[in-house]
Amino acid sequence: MIKITFPDNSVKEFEAGISGLGIARSLSNSLAKEVLSITVNNEIWDISRPINEDSNIKLHTWDDAEGKYAFWHSSAHLMAEALEALYPGVKFGIGPAIEMGFYYDVDLGNGMVLSDKDLPKIEQKMLELARNKSEYQRTDVTKEEAISFFKEKNEEYKLELINDLEDGTISFYKQGNFTDLCRGPHLPNTSYIKAIKLNSIAGAYWRGDEKRPQLTRVYGITFPKKKFLDEYVIMMEEAKKRDHRKLGKEMELFTFSQNVGQGMPLWLPKGAQLRESLETFLKRVQKKFGYEQVITPHIGNINLYKTSGHYEKYGEDSFQAIQTPQEGEEYLLKPMNCPHHCEIYKFKPRSYKDLPVRYAEFGTVYRYEQSGELHGLTRVRSFTQDDAHLFCTPDQLKDEFKKVIDIIFIIFKALNFTDYTAQISLRDKVNREKYIGSDENWDKAEQAIIEAAEEKGLNTVVEYGEAAFYGPKLDFMIKDAIGRKWQLGTIQVDYNLPERFELEYVGSDNQKHRPIMIHRAPFGSMERFIAVLLEHTGGKFPLWLTPEQVVIMPISEKYNDYAEKVLNSLNNSDIRAVLDDRNEKIGRKIRDSELKKTPYLIIVGEKEATEGTVSVRRQGEGDLGSQSIQEFTDFINKEVEDQLSSIEQY
């Protein structure tokens, strides 16, 4: 008999060799129908795989990310089987599950290419194969056996992958007529897959190397029920309307230029205003929490990043080193702001009475992401982080952590992110070799995060083995207005950089001690945050944030002078107003303004010019009637004041 420990710490005994599916059946038949994968001692397994020793387990259904992972990983293999049946001789690269679905990189050979018109045929073949109820069968193989198998199939991409694997760690999965190199996990059989949608085709360089062959990447998603696919299709249609690249162009927020370079966003005046409003808002919040603003260069000596470890971590993803006239001297475009902040901390001696020290910076950093990975504002090569680094004593750690959570709460409330969870990322329960620092410090840091999250009433999930090598962390996962998940806001505890940079403070015992460092970025990066915000709001920002709060539209050019008077009055009252004096019909101007999501429209003609009033329309609501210029000014300023005061009263 073996002992199985469940997530609630209850323990049950089972015969050795029982599978996750067998455990689920022992609990309830309904659970057995829904379980898709199982975590055994922090490793995700097939639910059909036998368990032969005492283990901690967690069963996963479609509602869990681990359940979807197994489902979509199995679907990638099903698509590969369909491709092999339709295109004999096709060669395969990698086919992972991703956040929403899966993909497979393939080489059809002979100059053959796939197009979108081929996708329905592949979908139909997948559905046909799924109905066969073929089992996903796992087999452990030796390296020699794996090489022999794929040599016979002339699969050079798989052979290259095998060369990087150690003997004794290699497994195959077979379903129907298809066998793949894979560590799993997978579903019990293909019949679980009921609904299929292949979304798109793209090019992808083998192993992300632009010097290697370009493969065809086929993206897809599958579901256990047809209604889930129907809901997904509706969501994707809404996502197209909310695509930040589309809205950014329509609202004239940002653009890209090949002459400037891929992944280098250019912020247009309205986008710059949006960024400035966000930065001003966060700076005001940070000031109340005792932060000090700092500014650091865009480059640094290469030795700075070697000391911090960022050169080792980001060296391959960085731009080439900058050679100076001084022989042997090299600089890098900075990949992170933290090393610079450590040097600021070091510029003078510190006492425990000086701590905590809180440095904040909207610092631009640079990483050379592969061109195929670039995507609008969500994946760029130049981005600005709302970085802050706190240096504190062990006794201050939990309180400082809680205050950072408070800042994130304020931001989420300000921008109507109401559905979120917090992931507590801790050390692996068994393998401690990949972490630095003493167990005592780790225990304190982990306990501080757990207690802080509990005391702040966070809805949390705990993930063991997901901590950074230098310390545990807390990541906030939000759901946007149409149900998609995004990671926004992170807080990390770091014992590593204070050690690497030999940071010190003199304690009350007159001895030198290392401070603890907290990294935090509530927005993450301005670029990615604005992309998520655009898609969450559909471009309809709260009035305090929107770049253009009011557009003034004269009915004809005869009233341009009066419109200018209204414009000057509003701008002098810190209302962001613009004048649309184009020689267009008023209906066209209104439609254009609606497209740009301007909250308030003012129409002026003979009546308004004579009476000193304005005719007001609210975006999406229509006519609000006539007001004096002063009444409208007070109305707008009060709405902004009410919005900001309700946020800051949190």
CB 507 within 8 A of CB 353: no
Residue 519 counted as an annotated binding residue? yes
CB 308 within 8 A of CB 466: no
3-state class of 322 per DSSP?
strand
Catalytic residue among 519, 536, 589, 596: 519
Q: Residue holding tokens 């992110």?
A: 417
Is 473 catalytic? The answer is yes
Catalytic residue among 60, 77, 242, 338: 338
- For residue 237, what are its two tokens? 């249609």
Catalytic residue among 138, 158, 244, 367: 367
d(CA 530, CA 537): 10
CA 288 to chain centre: 28
Is 270 catalytic? The answer is no
- Distant-in-sequence, close-in-space partners of 8: CB < 8 Å, separation ≥ 6: none
Residue 392 counted as an annotated binding residue? no
CA-to-CA dists, residue 121 to 136, 451, 566, angstroms: 23, 54, 61
Catalytic residue among 385, 396, 492, 549: 385
Catalytic residue among 386, 387, 480, 580: 387
Is 244 catalytic? The answer is no
d(CA 104, CA 454): 41
Could you write out the DSSP letters of every residue in 24-36?
A: HHHH-HHHHHH--
Is 513 catalytic? The answer is no
d(CA 173, CA 521): 41
- How many C-beta atoms surround the C-beta of residue 41 within 10 A? 15
Biggest alpha carbon–alpha carbon distance for the chain: 92
Phi, then psi, of 71 in degrees rounded to 5: -65, -50
Catalytic residue among 310, 398, 444, 473: 473
Catalytic residue among 60, 275, 381, 389: 389
3-state class of 361 per DSSP?
strand
CB 261 within 8 A of CB 381: yes
d(CA 546, CA 565): 22
Is 273 catalytic? The answer is no
Residue 310 counted as an annotated binding residue? no
Which of 390, 389, 453 lies closest to 420 in space, CA to CA? 453
* Residue positions forming the annotated binding site for Zn(2+): 338, 389, 519
> Which positions are annotated as active-site residues?
338, 367, 385, 387, 389, 473, 519
* Residues contributing to the annotated binding site: 338, 389, 519
